[in-house]
């Protein structure tokens, strides 16, 4: 979590703000090279010949955003702005699925406007916006309140006038209509293949589709297999389609629960042989990793598979795959997909602790360390950490496995490196580093070579004074994007990944003045990452929900208390919905607290309670510090040089467990099992050029906290003695 504004930082900010001048309004257009899966498109234009379509998504302030939702390139877009004609010849053709942001100075904020988009092939449509909604903080995608404001045949979907495709014919050859007729409708390219070698039976690849060639589409036979054909696209795998169930070979297209004569004999498993040692899966198996055998149990096979209602995992553990995230088999709010849930399902005992800590060591680090992030950079199974400093560096310290960190390796960043984020930005399975630069107005990317050594990839532009950065796959293209809080612009920027670890600024969203920290969570449980943002001078935390296409709705503010700087998102009451923890500081009353806001199970929030902490709170970190399956809160106090541990009462409320003295003026915290003993430890970044390691001493020994054969460890009251759980010591 990021720092609050200390007197020293405030002085720096005054200098920085003085030297950053406001730029004049200008006219520009840029193509946003992303593959947006537009689910809330605007007024889609008709076409004359071919399948050209343009979506006028919205206008906001002095901008409109359009997207090519057709199937051919567009090289010219003409805008009729309040009946004034303006034509744009794009510097590069706008390809299907890509977007363009068009900005111009004559679209004044706070006035009624109508914008008509015209295509060279004759297609056109109009979108009007009233003064009350044409503001800088209205956000993209806010073009209507109800369908009466839209044109003929259009509907108001997520505040956008939308005329969806209704069938594949409207989209053209090589494209299909996804979610026809609904708010999520769009024309999407069919890319079954790119060349003939990718087609079964060497059938030709035409318009990205494998032709059927000489193979006919077979039907599903009564014995549950596809007569020798691939069950994904039903094309012949080789030769002619024949019925192979009964040939004593378990094929990939055969339903292993039905074709027992093959899969049962091949794996030496039948439904009868499974009884007594496991659970036999009926109704088909959707994903399989155990030689196509349907028995989940002690069969010496790697049992990881599932059907529509039940899953087999962890070598024979059964759980309900319909509600894996919060499955509660024993009524004790335990997630049975990992950790203590798996321990319980194996009939072992999970040991809790009292979440007590001790100061293990203070490490001397670089000048004025700013921000912390953690990750296993050299892939040795131990957590390392990185921090930024005021000397223009990021410093990486590798863990030896015991919580001792080696000599810091410094990498030159830029003038004022600030917020640090960790993630695999180029998809090479190594954790990379992203750091913002306050004066340079960009993020710098450092790529990991896999051994914990880094190379500077480049600098990528943001807004003014990027204070915080958070990573997430916002458009669900399987590549990490970046959300950046621009302190001096009252907006957050989204930087889209170029699918190679480089980034392009693609969108800005207005938030409250001086945005400070960002938390990325799926707040409305729709599978798309959302954002929560605090601001340095605001009494509110802003939530921006993802429309389901990488574009965010306008902010919604929730009261969080005076001067709320830090925010953390997590499920505190174990209802399966991420809640919010926000710090609160009143300098007049000299009072500080953490305010917890519960999720209303729809992505909106209600304040629950405030919990008093040390003055000038900094760096919220959330984790289960006592292994009781309920998330607790750590927060530092800059003025008092302590960290406070707020323990969850197993209902989403908290009590102050203890305060621990750390280095002088702490302003950031990060958590992880740094000493490899099974409990969450804490690293604290201090203003006296030190990092404090606070070790969790709730459990000591080896193998915990799940008591299995070979494990010997203990907490304050109980022990695990070679897998045997007992009171007292071994």
Q: Which CATH number do you get for residue 112?
A: 2.60.40
Whether residue 116 is contained in a domain is answered as yes
- Whole domain around residue 615: which residue ranges? 511-661
Whether residue 59 is contained in a domain is answered as yes
Check whether residue 621 and residue 712 sit in a common domain: no
Residue 171 parent element (H or E): helix 168-171
Is the predicted pLDDT of residue 326 greater than 60, yes or no?
no
Q: What number of helices (H) and strands (E) belong to the chain? A: 5, 54
Check whether residue 631 and residue 715 sit in a common domain: no
Rounded CA separation 644/589 (Å): 20
Check whether residue 50 and residue 187 sit in a common domain: no
Check whether residue 88 and residue 135 sit in a common domain: yes
Looking at 95, 117, 140, which one is the last position of a domain?
140
Whether residue 646 is contained in a domain is answered as yes
* More confident: 554 or 98: 554
Please give the C-alpha separations between residue 701 and each of 671, 694, 725, in angstroms, as whole numbers. Answer: 20, 17, 14
Task: Mention every residue, 6+ apart, whose C-beta is less than 8 A from residue 525.
Answer: 576, 577, 603
Check whether residue 96 and residue 121 sit in a common domain: yes
Confidence of residue 468 (pLDDT cuts 50, 70, 90): very high
The residues that bridge with 63 in the sheet, in sequence order, are: 60, 103
Looking at 639, 661, 683, which one is the last position of a domain?
661
Whether residue 115 is contained in a domain is answered as yes
Task: Mention every residue, 6+ apart, whose C-beta is less than 8 A from residue 90.
Answer: 29, 31, 74, 75, 76, 77, 100
Q: pLDDT tens digits, residue range 32-78?
A: 222 222 222 233 333 323 456 666 655 555 566 666 666 677 777 77
Whether residue 363 is contained in a domain is answered as no
Whether residue 540 is contained in a domain is answered as yes
DSSP 105: T
Instruction: Please tell me whether the peptide bond between 64 and the residue prior to it is cis, using omega within 30 degrees of 0.
Output: no
CA angle 541, 415, 362 (to 5 degrees): 70
Check whether residue 547 and residue 595 sit in a common domain: yes
* More confident: 93 or 476: 476
Rounded CA separation 108/115 (Å): 12
Rounded CA separation 513/54 (Å): 34
Rounded CA separation 408/367 (Å): 13
Check whether residue 710 and residue 637 sit in a common domain: no
Check whether residue 582 and residue 708 sit in a common domain: no
Q: Which of 53-57, 213-217, 684-688 has the highest mean pLDDT?
A: 684-688
Q: pLDDT tens digits, residue range 127-149?
A: 666 555 454 433 333 345 566 66
* More confident: 115 or 267: 115
Looking at 608, 637, 661, which one is the last position of a domain?
661
* More confident: 657 or 196: 657
Whether residue 576 is contained in a domain is answered as yes
Check whether residue 620 and residue 527 sit in a common domain: yes
Task: Mention every residue, 6+ apart, whose C-beta is less than 8 A from residue 70.
Answer: 47, 50, 51, 52, 53, 54, 96, 171, 172, 187
Contact (CB, 8 A) for 439 and 418: no
Predicted confidence at residue 100, as pLDDT, reads 67
Predicted confidence at residue 232, as pLDDT, reads 39
Rounded CA separation 411/399 (Å): 18
Look up the CATH number of the domain holding residue 618. Answer: 2.130.10.10
Whether residue 642 is contained in a domain is answered as yes
Average pLDDT, the chain: 74
Predicted confidence at residue 150, as pLDDT, reads 63
What is the CB neighbour count within 10 angstroms for residue 193? Answer: 20
Phi, psi of 343 (to 5 degrees): -60, -45
Check whether residue 103 and residue 159 sit in a common domain: no
- The tally of domains found in the chain comes to 4
Check whether residue 540 and residue 654 sit in a common domain: yes
HEC readout, 356-371:
CEEEEEEEECCCCCCE
Check whether residue 522 and residue 654 sit in a common domain: yes
Rounded CA separation 241/118 (Å): 51
Q: Kindly state the average pLDDT of the residues 542-562.
A: 91
Contact (CB, 8 A) for 363 and 405: yes
Whole-prediction pTM value?
0.58
């Amino acid at each position: 979590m990021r720092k609050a504004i200390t007197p020293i930082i405030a002085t720096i900010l005054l200098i920085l703000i003085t030297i950053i001048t406001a730029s004049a309004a200008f006219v520009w257009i840029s193509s946003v090279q992303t593959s947006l899966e537009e689910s809330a498109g605007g007024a889609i234009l008709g076409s004359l010949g071919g399948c050209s379509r343009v979506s006028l998504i919205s206008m906001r302030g002095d901008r409109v955003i359009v997207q090519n939702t057709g199937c051919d390139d567009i090289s010219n877009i003409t805008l009729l702005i309040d009946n004034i004609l303006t034509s744009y010849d794009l510097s590069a053709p706008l390809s299907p699925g890509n977007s363009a942001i068009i900005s111009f100075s004559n679209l004044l904020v706070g006035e009624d406007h109508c914008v008509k988009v015209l295509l060279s092939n004759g297609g056109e449509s109009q979108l009007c916006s009233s003064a009350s909604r044409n503001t800088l903080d209205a956000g993209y995608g806010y073009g209507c309140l109800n369908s009466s404001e839209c044109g003929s045949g259009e509907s108001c979907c997520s505040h956008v006038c939308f005329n969806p495709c209704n069938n594949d014919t409207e989209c053209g050859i090589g494209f299909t209509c996804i979610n026809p007729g609904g708010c999520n409708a769009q024309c999407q390219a069919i890319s079954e293949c790119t060349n003939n070698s990718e087609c079964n039976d060497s059938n030709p690849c035409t318009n990205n589709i494998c032709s059927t060639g000489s193979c006919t589409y077979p039907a599903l036979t009564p014995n549950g297999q596809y007569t020798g054909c691939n069950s994904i696209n039903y094309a012949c795998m080789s030769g002619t389609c024949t019925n192979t169930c009964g040939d004593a070979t378990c094929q990939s297209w055969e339903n292993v629960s039905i074709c027992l004569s093959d899969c049962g004999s091949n794996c030496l498993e039948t439904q009868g042989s499974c009884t007594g040692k496991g659970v036999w899966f009926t109704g088909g198996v959707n994903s399989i990793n155990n030689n196509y055998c349907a028995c989940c149990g002690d069969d010496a096979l790697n049992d990881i598979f599932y059907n529509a209602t039940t899953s087999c995992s962890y070598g024979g553990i059964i759980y309900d795959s319909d509600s894996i995230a919060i499955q509660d088999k024993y009524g004790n709010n335990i997630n049975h997909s990992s950790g203590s849930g798996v321990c319980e399902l194996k009939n072992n005992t999970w040991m809790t602790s009292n979440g007590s800590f001790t100061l293990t060591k203070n490490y001397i680090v670089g000048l004025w360390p700013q921000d912390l992030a953690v990750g296993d950079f050299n892939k040795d199974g131990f957590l390392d950490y990185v921090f930024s400093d005021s000397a223009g560096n990021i410093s990486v310290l590798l863990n030896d496995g015991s919580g001792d960190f080696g000599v810091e390796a410094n990498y030159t960043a830029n003038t004022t490196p600030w917020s640090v984020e960790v993630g695999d930005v180029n998809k090479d399975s190594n954790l990379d580093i992203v750091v913002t630069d306050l004066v340079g107005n960009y993020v710098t990317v450092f790529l990991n070579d896999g051994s914990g050594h880094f190379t500077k990839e480049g600098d990528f532009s943001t807004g003014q004074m990027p204070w915080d950065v958070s990573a997430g796959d916002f458009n669900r293209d399987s590549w990490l994007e970046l959300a950046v809080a621009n302190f001096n612009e009252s907006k957050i920027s989204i930087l889209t990944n170029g699918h190679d670890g480089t980034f392009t600024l693609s969108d800005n969203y207005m938030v409250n003045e001086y945005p400070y920290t960002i938390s990325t969570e799926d707040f409305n449980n729709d599978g798309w990452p959302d954002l929560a943002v605090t601001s340095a001078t605001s009494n509110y935390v802003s939530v921006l929900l993802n429309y389901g296409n990488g574009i965010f709705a306008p902010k919604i503010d929730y009261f969080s208390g005076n001067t709320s700087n830090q925010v953390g998102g997590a499920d505190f009451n174990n209802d399966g919905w991420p809640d919010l923890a926000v710090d609160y500081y009143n300098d007049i009353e000299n009072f500080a607290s953490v305010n917890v806001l519960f999720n209303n199970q729809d992505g909106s929030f209600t304040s629950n309670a405030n919990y008093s902490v040390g003055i000038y709170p900094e760096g919220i970190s959330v984790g289960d510090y006592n292994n009781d399956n309920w998330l607790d809160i750590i927060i530092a106090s800059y003025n008092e040089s302590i960290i406070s541990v707020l323990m969850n009462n197993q209902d989403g409320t908290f009590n102050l467990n203890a305060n621990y003295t750390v280095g002088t003026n702490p302003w950031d915290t990060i958590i992880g099992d740094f000493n490899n003993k099974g409990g969450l430890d804490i690293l604290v970044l201090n203003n006296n050029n030190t990092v404090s390691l606070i070790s969790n001493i709730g459990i000591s020994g080896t193998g915990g906290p799940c008591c299995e054969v070979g494990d010997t460890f203990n907490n304050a009251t109980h022990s695990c003695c070679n897998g045997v759980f007992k009171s007292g010591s071994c």
